[in-house]
Amino acid sequence: MKESELRTLLSDLSLEEKIGQLIQLPGYFQNAGNITGPAGDMGFTQEDLRLAGSYLSIIGAEKLKKMQTEFMAQHPHHIPLLFMADIINGYRTVFPIPLAQACTFDPELVEDSAAVAAREAAASGIHVTFSPMADLVRDARWGRVMESAGEDPFLSGHMAAAMVRGYQGSDLREPGRIAACLKHFAGYGAPEGGRDYNTVELSERTLREDYLPAYAAAVNAGCELVMTSFNTLNRIPSAANTWLLREILRREMGFEGMIISDWNALEELLAHGIAADPSEAAFLALRAGVDMDMVSPIYACNLKALVENGKVPMKWIDESVWRILSLKNRLGLFEHPFKDADETAEKTVLLSDENRLRARKCAEQSFVLLRNEDALLPLSGTDAVFIGPYAESPLLNGVWSIFADDSDTVSLGSALRRCPQTREVPIARGCTMCDPEQPPIGFQHPLPLETLDAETALEEAVRLAKNAEKVVLCLGEHRECSGEAASRGDLSLPRCQLRLLDAVAAVNSNLIVVLFTGRPLDLRPLAEKAKSILLCWLPGTEGGEAVLNTLLGANNPSGKLSMSFPYCTGQVPVHYNHLNTGRPWKGGIREGRFGSKYQDIPNAPLYPFGYGLSYTTFTCSPVTLSAAHLTRSSTIRAAVTLTNTGTRTGTETVQLYIRDLSGSVARPVRELKGFTRVSLAPGESQEVAFTITEEMLRFYRLSMEYASECGDFDVFIGCDSRTDNGARFTLTE
């Protein structure tokens, strides 16, 4: 539709039709066009269902085509619906959780994974995905860390932008493209105590320096929607924060697309205590710039009266409706209301062999080898037994994989039996996934209780371990222990799994742990008893095949941690790019008293950001700089020579960090400013070079001006955030 025609349509709409466009309803409200119990209880009317602009979490080409046809036929202006859903790390073909995808340090691979998810979701009729989540996270207690790219602003920005490109392509009208909704704006990943939905307290400098850049990267990549966050920021809930949405997002970042609230966030303005009643909540949200109200009755039940009594200007309504209609137009829905929904395509695209292969490749690149003493990995194939609750479990998809079917997932046990090399390998469960007295709360449905004779299972595991050359122990947190509303106060593995670890380690020292998790955990017991630890996260549909390929050496692990693993829970939040403090500490925990340290644990995480081993080894030469001085118009070439000093072909991620030694405000000890993946054969070397510009040195100065300051800088190039391989240069005028 031409813009002039869209403007005419907007002017023709009644107030009721306009308000309808601002409403999103959950799929369970729609029952052949009639009000269901929950809808009526919340105050929605038949008219609200008839005029709604969007529904969410309904899938299936046949169902959505029928619904769209019936809806448009009865709508006064035949405006099509927007169908939205949470497609987080895949639709039916599930990829690793986003936190794991970030460990690939490969934006192109992440973009490709999002494109696969878009093609599958589009074939089932979805127009919009609530992804990417660009929330920076430094506290592993927060359950939604699994949806993030971790603790670093630079890496998070690259991953968020890659996902936007993968979902949307260059033209939303193209087949297999869906609109991306960036979330959660802003600061959602920094709740006090790591507790979901909790208060966020960030200085404006920290917000701008650390938390906003990844959102900005997604906006610059062209994301079509932005979702508000649940939390307060400066004690104002994001869904009513005019400064955040209109000043920062729209004016400073230049975002022109549609803003949608998170689930029921507008009604929660009453619980936050900033709205006295639903009418005030509607006024505050629309004033702040929230275009669409997700599932709450706030807009539906209050906007008409607010307009008619003059408290809400029609201009606010028209601005929001225009953004929603414009999105529908960019998707091509006025000409093709079904877009890509196609029952035949669903049968060929969903879970295709090609998609499964891409999911397997992504999973393999996301695995992080944390430890490999005595080169216990890779296996020869028949020299190990497999023990643990994850040895046979198909629960390898993240909790947000709400449209996946676990029966489509390849478990490790299934992969073992498929492979001629390992089909006779013994497998034992050993223990339950969770402690019986503390099962996780189901994300969507109550979880069935695990049934197992604990003593018999443990005895069988010990018997197998005692007679084996090596033991592969498959441990981890249940997938329901991470995700939304899954904050944890203790990052330890379940006691039943630690008991199994102790019992097996007591009879066999050649212990390999394969770890499945949705967040960083306290791995001290594993590091003390296991010679090898392979971190596999929640790897998705092809997880079992990817894990087995890696254990057998067909895939050489190359993942790098996108988030530090703490020494223990009491250490979080922990991140590599911290400030130095006036009393920095690098000694042992018992060496002196008056420094910024703990008395009982080290400051450093157990495994830091950017860390990850390989089945081969690499060395970096000293850093060389093309110049000792940088000006605002010049560049410096910083380079190292990377050499594969091992016996296998492998891939290393070379990382560039910069430290500003002196500024008008305290600066981080180092910040990631570049990375590149390099694959080398044994004995092969390659120069790896980065270009340093003045723009990379900018920060929010004392005056809050975003600019660089002249002075000395250290540049570090190496294989993780701890590298001391560096050189110094000076920024001059």
Tell me the per-residue pLDDT of 195-217, one tens digit each, with 9 for 90 and over: 999 999 999 999 999 999 999 99
Task: Give a yes or no: residue 416 inside a domain.
Answer: yes
Residue pLDDT, tens place only, 465-518: 999 999 999 999 999 999 999 999 999 999 999 999 999 999 999 999 999 999
Q: What is the mean pLDDT of residues 111-140?
A: 98
Q: Which helix (H) or strand (E) holds 417?
A: helix 412-418
325 shares a domain with 263: yes
Residue 678, in any domain of the structure: yes
pLDDT above 50 (res 129): yes
Q: What is the pLDDT of residue 364?
A: 98
Q: Report the candidate in 656, 647, 663, 649 with the shortest Cα–Cα distance to residue 699.
A: 663
Question: Could you list the residue range(s) of the whole structural domain that residue 681 is in?
Answer: 618-731
**Beta bridge mates, 225:** 181, 258
Active-site residue, 342 included: no
Q: Domain boundary at 312, 339, 366, which?
A: 339
Query: How many domains does one find in the chain?
Result: 3
What's the pLDDT score for residue 63?
A: 96
Composition of the chain by helix, strand, coil, percent to 5 = 35, 20, 45
State the Cα–Cα distance between residues 285 and 280, nearest whole angstrom.
Answer: 9
Q: Would strands 427-428 and 384-387 be described as parallel, antiparallel, or unpaired?
A: parallel
Look at residue 421 and tell me whether its pLDDT is greater than 60: yes
Q: Among 277, 307, 339, where does a domain finish?
A: 339
What mean pLDDT, rounded, does the chain reach? 96
Average pLDDT over residues 345-359: 98
Query: 363 pLDDT band (50/70/90 cuts)?
Result: very high
- Is 652 in the same domain as 717? yes
Task: Look at residue 439 in the predicted model and tell me its pLDDT.
Answer: 81
pLDDT at 34: 53
Distance, C-alpha 502 to centroid of its chain = 33
Cβ(656)–Cβ(690) below 8 Å: yes
Residues 192 and 335 in one domain: yes
Residue 420 lies in a domain: yes
CA pair distance 537, 545, nearest whole angstrom: 14
Please give the structure tokens belonging to residue 479: 């997938």
pLDDT beyond 50 at 686: yes
What residues have CB less than 8 Å from 8, skipping those under 6 apart? none
CATH number of the domain encompassing residue 184: 3.20.20.300
Same domain, 710 and 641: yes
Same domain for 385 and 302: no
Q: Are residues 418 and 300 in the same domain?
A: no
CA atoms of 684 and 587, how far apart (whole Å): 37
How far, in Å, CA of 477 to CA of 492, rounded?
9
370 shares a domain with 275: no
CA angle 318, 130, 89 (to 5 degrees): 165
Radius of gyration over every alpha carbon of the chain, rounded to an integer in angstroms: 26
Residue 81, C-beta contacts closer than 8 angstroms, at least 6 positions apart = 52, 53, 54, 55, 67, 68, 71, 72
Sign for the pseudo-dihedral over CA of 587, 593, 596, 601: positive
Domain end call among 339, 365, 399:
339
Residue 91 lies in a domain: no
Tokens coding 553: 């050496």
Which segments within 137-207 are labelled E, that is strand?
A: 179-185
CB 614, CB 369: distance < 8 Å: yes
| 273 shares its domain with 397 | no
Tell whether 643 and 540 lie within a shared domain: no
Chain centroid to CA 392 = 26
Q: How far apart are the C-alpha atoms of 643 and 638, rounded to whole Å?
A: 17
- Nearest one of 81, 88, 75, 77 to 63, comparing CA atoms: 81
Indicate if 188 and 61 belong to the same structural domain. Answer: yes
Instruction: Tell me, yes or no, whether 559 lies in a domain.
Output: no
In a domain, 597, yes or no: no
CATH code of the domain in which 436 resides: 3.40.50.1700
Residue 32 has pLDDT above 60, yes or no: no
| Inter-helix orientation angle 495-507/454-466, to 10° | 30
Per-residue tokens: 108: 């192109």
Sign of CA dihedral 662, 663, 665, 668: negative
Residue 35, pLDDT above cutoff 80 = no
> Band of the pLDDT at 36, cuts 50, 70, 90?
low
On whether both 401 and 509 belong to a single domain, the answer is: yes
What tens digit of pLDDT does each residue of 60-92 get? Answer: 999 999 999 999 999 999 999 999 999 999 999
Closest Cα partner for 237 from 204, 275, 279? Answer: 275
The H helix count followed by the E strand count for the chain is: 22, 27
Per-residue pLDDT, 440: 83
Is 685 strand, coil or helix?
strand
Q: Is residue 417 pLDDT above 90, yes or no? A: yes
Alpha carbon separation from 714 to 415, 660, 732 (Å, rounded): 47, 7, 14
Tokens of 443: 């994300």
Q: Is residue 417 part of a domain?
A: yes
Let me know if residue 390 belongs to a domain: yes
Q: Are residues 316 and 402 in the same domain?
A: no
- SS3 readout for 480-518: HHCCCCCCCCCCCCCHHHHHHHHHHHHHCCCEEEEEECC
Percent of the chain with pLDDT over 90: 93
What average pLDDT does range 573-602 have in this prediction? Answer: 92
The active-site residue, picked from 196, 262, 291, 342, is 262
Domain CATH number, residue 719: 2.60.40.10
CB 213 within 8 A of CB 157: yes
Q: What is the pLDDT of residues 645-671, one digit of tens each?
A: 999 999 999 999 999 999 999 999 999
What is the rounded CA–CA span in Å between residue 276 and residue 481? 35
